[in-house]
Structure 1
Amino acid sequence: MPTWTALSQADGRDAAEDLAEACDDLTPEPVGSGVFEIEDGSDRWEVGVYFTDPPDEIALALLAAAHGAQPFAVSRLPEVDWVAHVRRELSPVVAGRFFVHGSHDAQRIPEGAEALCIEAAMAFGTGHHDTTKGCLLAFDRLLDAGEVPHRVADIGCGTAVLAMAAARTIHGVVVASDIDPVAVETAQANVLANGLDGRVECVLAEGFHHPMLDGAAPYDLVFANILKQPLIDIAPDMARHLAPGGRAILSGILIAQADEVAAAYAASGMGVERRDDIGEWSTLVVRRG
């Protein structure tokens, strides 16, 4: 089935979301839309609208102008089996003891590895992003140092890769949360597919705002692989939910943003214990005093 994309940019999340919502009333009707932060510190957001019939480019231009956004760039995507393409192109990720793979690579699991299967068809990432790898490596180093947490949460869990990595290596139940109900459904499906039912509890929540997250605190370790501003926003809550001496592994942070995030956590009583940069991204391990 052919697909057309229409891409624009707007200043600020609210403006981008308003434009995406307005596009829902177009004829032909789009099959989906989304807004994504352009992670360069500019507070500009990309608006993506997707069609299975050629869109009305005049109507798109009028909507962009009415919302103060850039003109839409419309293009037709080639018909590609993206799942098959991803399976061909993505090799397994090795991060210390952890081996993240698709089912097509199940025969390649090294002996003794903690294997996590994430299908290429799943939304919210396959575990190949440098931020996920940075978090897994940071966790692996803690385990190697004998720092095995007992109570763990994964805030903004996506596919639940990090929560499942914890469940593979600790005793107890890991709480994984996300603000997107589709992400929570995806996480639950992955937990079941990896034989971790009952070891990871997936909940719909913003930050720590859920009775299960509150009830399981204080945590020895919290993963938060999200974005700079949400990380800064939850810093005070992070401090309240960490046990004394507890750690948080933070990512979704561009290298240029790392100092700002570190400062926000320092202001809430959590110092940076370690920082690692992979590609364009930073991973911070912070510890509550």
Structure 2
Amino acid sequence: MGQTRFFLATDKASAKQLFDALEAEFEDDGLPLAMIELDEARGIDEISLYVDGDAEDAEHRMARVLGEHGHATDLSREDLPDIDWVARSLEGLKPVRAGRFFVHGRHDRHRRQIGDLAIEIEAGQAFGTGHHGTTAGCLEMIEQVVRRERPRTALDLGTGSAVLAIAVAKMAHIPVLATDIDPVATKVAAENVRLNGVPALVRTATAPGFHHPVFGMAGPFDLIVANILARPLMQLAPRMARHVTPGGSLILSGILQRQRDAVLAAYSAQHFRHVRTLRREDWVTLHLKH
């Protein structure tokens, strides 16, 4: 069955109010709910609800919640096509080296070298192949933090293709929880985990938020890696503080250089200490300790 996305765009204040109301409505259903920034200058955010299979009930419920908040006519619907986006994106891409990590497709297996921590990303419908500056920055930071701190448990929040979870598992040989709000991403992440030989270490789960019981069962975590976006990372700061162990580390990315100080301020308010900033292209990766 295909997947359907219901979405609307509105101002930030209304988006936060609607997101909280929709989260309460669909919390027991486990349906992925996301809020992203569409236009920073105009202050516009977009809320999306993803539904697999029959979406009629979810559409009626979402419309009812929106109507209760004066947004009855704003709901849009998109039937998502079965397009293999990563397969397309991998066409013609070269392998990526980031520290000891070597991220490659099947066609570049012959380029692996002795000593590489090789990660093969099978084509699938999820993002995070290692070619983006944020992913490569996270891989470099993971190598440094794992070598220095030797964490015992880890979380890859917003795992995408699971490349970061696989990296932690291969280097640290510890249990890693890899979660995403998108069930398509979670499915592809699980396939990549098996492909890279770490299913005994990496557990994948579709989890819309930290209220999901999987976090309580697997955590708290010595290391949390989150390559998302600046605004969601800032909103997550209080919950990050509750799920990282005392003295534990965060590796955060998906942050533009101009957003760095705002993200650091949000985490400083939760008693995180900035350790290092790694810059790649226009993006930064942050290492913070609690």
> How high is the TM-score relative to the length of structure 1?
0.72
Q: What secondary structure is seen at the aligned counterpart in 2 of 1:115?
A: strand
Partner of 2:204: 202
Partner of 1:24: none
Alpha-carbon deviation of 1:122?
3.9
Partner of 1:183: 185
Is residue 271–residue 286 contact of structure 1 (8 Å, CA) maintained in 2? yes
Partner of 2:250: 248
Partner of 1:238: 240
* Distance in 1 between residues matched to 2:172 and 2:142, nearest whole Å: 11
Alpha-carbon deviation of 1:159?
0.7
Deviating 4+ runs (over 6 angstroms)? 81-85
Higher Rg: 1
* Distance in 2 between residues matched to 1:39 and 1:253, nearest whole Å: 15
Q: How does 1:207-222 map to 2 (within 5 A)?
A: 207-222=209-224
Partner of 1:259: 261
* Distance in 2 between residues matched to 1:97 and 1:252, nearest whole Å: 21
* Distance in 2 between residues matched to 1:35 and 1:235, nearest whole Å: 16
Residues 80-105 of structure 1: per-residue CA shift (max 9 Å, x gap): x9877644531111110111111011
Alpha-carbon deviation of 1:216?
2.2
Alpha-carbon deviation of 1:35?
9.4
Residues 90-135 of structure 1: per-residue CA shift (max 9 Å, x gap): 1111110111111011110121111111134442232211111111
Partner of 1:116: 119
Is residue 120–residue 126 contact of structure 1 (8 Å, CA) maintained in 2? no
State the percentage of identical aligned residues: 47
Amino acid in structure 2 at the alignment position of 1:241: H
Amino acid in structure 2 at the alignment position of 1:143: V
Amino acid in structure 1 at the alignment position of 2:106: S
Is residue 100–residue 117 contact of structure 2 (8 Å, CA) maintained in 1? yes
* Distance in 1 between residues matched to 2:35 and 2:107, nearest whole Å: 31
Partner of 1:91: 94
Partner of 2:271: 269
Distance 1:263 1:35, change over 3 A: closer
* Distance in 2 between residues matched to 1:85 and 1:184, nearest whole Å: 19
Residue 108 (structure 2) pairs with residue 100 (structure 1): no
Is residue 161–residue 192 contact of structure 2 (8 Å, CA) maintained in 1? yes
Residues 44-103 of structure 1: per-residue CA shift (max 9 Å, x gap): 4689xxxxxxxxxxxxxxxxxx96xxxxxxxxxxxxx98776445311111101111110
Alpha-carbon deviation of 1:220?
0.9
Amino acid in structure 2 at the alignment position of 1:97: R
Q: How does 1:1-289 map to 2 (within 5 A)?
A: 12=11, 37-38=37-38, 40=40, 42-44=42-44, 86-144=89-147, 146-288=148-290
Is residue 273–residue 286 contact of structure 1 (8 Å, CA) maintained in 2? yes
Q: What secondary structure is seen at the aligned counterpart in 1 of 2:108?
A: helix
* Distance in 2 between residues matched to 1:151 and 1:241, nearest whole Å: 11
Is residue 154–residue 221 contact of structure 2 (8 Å, CA) maintained in 1? yes
Amino acid in structure 2 at the alignment position of 1:238: M
Amino acid in structure 2 at the alignment position of 1:217: G
Alpha-carbon deviation of 1:150?
0.7
Q: What secondary structure is seen at the aligned counterpart in 2 of 1:141?
A: helix
Is residue 123–residue 159 contact of structure 1 (8 Å, CA) maintained in 2? yes
> How high is the TM-score relative to the length of structure 2?
0.72
Alpha-carbon deviation of 1:271?
1.4
Alpha-carbon deviation of 1:197?
1.4
Is residue 278–residue 284 contact of structure 2 (8 Å, CA) maintained in 1? yes
Aligned-residue RMSD, C-alpha: 3.1
Structure 1 residue runs without a partner (length 5+): 1-8, 16-33, 48-65, 68-80
Is residue 271–residue 287 contact of structure 1 (8 Å, CA) maintained in 2? yes
Residues 219-274 of structure 1: per-residue CA shift (max 9 Å, x gap): 11000111112111111111111111100000111111111111000001111111
Is residue 85–residue 125 contact of structure 2 (8 Å, CA) maintained in 1? no
Distance 1:195 1:41, change over 3 A: farther
Is residue 252–residue 281 contact of structure 1 (8 Å, CA) maintained in 2? yes
